[in-house]
Structure 1
Amino acid sequence: MKRILALGVLLASVWSGTTFAETLRFSSFEPPAAYVTSKILAPWAEKVAAASKGTLEIQMFAGGTLGRSPAQQLKLVEDGVADIAWVIPGYTPGRFDEGTVAELPFMVTESHKGSLAMWKMVEDGHFKGDYEKFKLLCVCVSTPAFIGATKEINEPKDLSGLKMRAPGPTQLAVLEALGAVPIGGITAATLAESISRGLISGSLIEWSASETFNADEVLTHYNTALLGATPMLVLMNKARYEALPAEAREAIDQFSGETFSDYFGKEFDAYVAAARERIEANYKPQVVEPDEAAVEAWKAAVAPATEKWIAAHDNGQAIYDAFGKALQAVEGAK
């Protein structure tokens, strides 16, 4: 009897022309009210669903409801627990390795231009391997990270011997080149506690991360030398994407790729600027803006990290040069 009823419902839907919307699970490790999740990812999902002609619903699972750690997000998509996720490749070293070129110092100057350049690297075939295993919705970067610390940092030598955190191997190598003691394995969620307990003296960070993860409450000094951006991805299980109805795939494609990277970068830059204003107003930290001479000193100090990255990749010099050209192309187009 149940099978007859189910068949009747199916036939009724076919005869009436009704289609059932596919539901996609979108995972974010951030709290639901955090800026990227609430103001970038969720609105993107709403636009895609609205354009799908009723074939698609996208449900946000924020705050780690599918997986709490940022390091879990990639596996959630690979295992089909999530269909889409916001992924920070630095938490899974060795994956999406070509994209760590964006972590090198003094290349990316802002999220918007950096994100467009990252997508251009995908389009031009410079990013392969893991990038080819997923449906790439957005390939982007943060604004550049800089020094956030509990003591004054005016020049590279001030970091000598300090325990400093970074999210991945490339930026840890930058800290090592600066004479700091690089500390990995500390996620953004535990950063403020690690600083307040004296386990580390600071981190490579940018303003939005400092605010989102409460590091602004314990960091008293910043030096804004551009020490490398954090690559980020919004990606989808490729098999799940390919199994969707044509209207659903078309809606996803409409708002993905360069369009999503452009949108993400603009929104991220605006948020970071506002976050800096709030941090300076609320906590009044000391902020050092390096002048031209100081920038040259920082560049000289971190040069070994760039050389190390190039040497560690089979086509490191080619990727480095291509990313520099992509950044220039984006700059010239604006």
Structure 2
Amino acid sequence: MSTRTIAAIAATLCITGTAQAQEVTLRLSHWLPPTHPVHTLGIEPWIQSLSEASDGRIAVQVFPAQQLGAAPDHYDMARDGIADITYTNPGYQAGRFPIYSLVEIPFHANNAVGGAQAMHEWYAPIAETEMSDVKFCIANPHDPGTFHSKNPIKVPADVSGLNVRPAHATMARFISGLGGGPVQVPAPEAREAIANGTADAITFPWNSIYIFGIDSETKYHLDMPFYISAQLLLINKDTYNGMPEDLRAILDDHCTPEWSRKFSEGWAENEASGRQKMIDSGEHTLYEPTEEEVQMWRDAAQPLIDQWKTDVGADAETLYQGYVEALERHDSRF
């Protein structure tokens, strides 16, 4: 074998080795079924775009349905590197992220698409402090949800005495303030709570009632865009910092307000479809509150805002106005 041939082989091995060293496989964990629109319409297109932008050098292996850990543990799983990326609901851990909990208070965001972009713009700088041990990437609210129940709920007084599965800690406080009893279980366990009588009602977006099989249990629905639950994609910092610079840049390009909007579009449309499905079925009763009744609900939610400002402290009003302005900027203010 000639010297020139040996040199050529050595050069090829060097290039291949370099390419292989720059390939990254990231583990993404979430707690939803793999058929859920967050998985099929949000996560999968995001992964595909990462692969295309990196010429296949960024691969993502997905672990759905709580395979790597329970739903409430996903923030710590990102922090501790149990997964490289996690789909996290901060509201599953009451009081841990007080500033972020503002997005959970009813009557702020009226749609998930503009709302996602607004939330990202507002919270990304805050996350550097409040979630400093992970990298914030994507905000993903669902289409505004409402009360779904075994018996009609029309006004705040109707919640008194009911056991209600809340979407998150903020809705749990709201239900308690109305005289109800929160039954705090993650979404994958919600159907069982309704079916076995542990809960009389649930706060959920519309089509998730079908996705989680709760449509046979709850036949009454309060027909208004009430609240949102805003999940996040979070990245382990060691994983991120250990990636080659060019791949970090590609990941950064997929952790933007525009990507939060794009990531949320499919799920929002899917959830909204559940409302019409209920109407068409003839098996469900939707109640649209009057203006006076909507105001009753808004008045009932005001203590949540007051308490949030107390919990956050000196900067609360500035932070609050920043969120409201971001929602207005993206046509998503209730």
Same fold, TM-score > 0.5, yes or no: yes
Match of 1:209 in 2: 208
Aligned partners of 1:10, 1:37: CA distance in 2, in Å? 43
**1:50 aligned to 46, 49, 52, which one?**
52
For residues 208 and 127 of structure 1, what CA distance do their matches in structure 2 show?
Answer: 30
Q: Does 1:278 align with 2:277?
A: yes
Residue 164 of structure 2 corresponds to residue 177 of structure 1: no
Aligned partner of 2:89: which letter? I
Q: 2:107 matched to 1:83?
A: no
State how 1:246-261 maps to structure 2 within 5 Å. Answer: 246-261=245-260
SS of the residue 2:25 aligns to: strand
Structure 2 matches for 1:1-334, cutoff 5 A?
A: 13-16=13-16, 19-20=19-20, 21-67=23-69, 69-123=70-124, 125-184=125-184, 186-282=185-281, 284-314=283-313, 315-331=315-331
Equivalents in 2 of 1:288, 1:193: separation in Å?
A: 25
Distance 2:308 2:203 in 1: 18
Further displaced range: 203-212 or 35-44: 203-212
CA shift digits 1:287-325 (9 cap, x unpaired): 112232221121122222222222222233332222112
Distance in structure 2 (CA, Å) of the matches to 1:204 and 1:14: 57
For residues 281 and 308 of structure 2, what CA distance do their matches in structure 1 show? 38
Query: 1:241 deviation in Å?
Result: 1.0
- Give the Cα separation in 1 of the matches to 2:212 and 2:109: 23
Partners of 2:174 and 2:223 in 1: how far apart? Answer: 15
Distance 1:282 1:70, change over 3 A: farther
**Alignment coverage as a number of residue pairs:** 322
Query: Deviation of residue 126 (structure 1)?
Result: 4.1
Partner of 1:6: none
The alpha-carbon distance between structure 1 residues 247 and 325, as it changes in their structure 2 partners (threshold 3 A), is same
Q: TM-score under structure 2 normalisation? A: 0.89
Percent identical pairs in the alignment equals 24
State whether residues 100 and 123 of structure 2, in contact with CA within 8 Å, keep that contact through their aligned partners in structure 1: no
One-letter identity of the residue aligned with 2:171: Q
User: What is the identity, as a one-letter code, of the residue corresponding to 1:105?
Assistant: P
* Aligned amino acid, residue 36 of structure 2: A
Scaled by the length of structure 1, the TM-score of the pair is: 0.89
Is the 1:164–1:182 contact (alpha carbons within 8 Å) kept by the matching residues of 2? Answer: yes
Taking structure 1 as reference, are residues 181 and 245 closer, same or farther at Cα in structure 2, changes over 3 Å only?
same
For the aligned residue pairs, the C-alpha RMSD in angstroms reads 2.3
Deviation at 1:173, TM superposition (A): 1.5
Structure 2 Cα separation of the partners of residues 303 and 13 of structure 1: 65
Give 1:51's aligned amino acid. Answer: A
Q: How far apart, CA to CA, are the structure 2 residues paired with 1:126 and 1:22? A: 28
Question: Structure 1 regions of 5+ residues with no counterpart?
Answer: 1-8
Amino acid of the residue matched to residue 181 of structure 2?
V
CA contact (8 A) 1:149 1:221 kept: yes
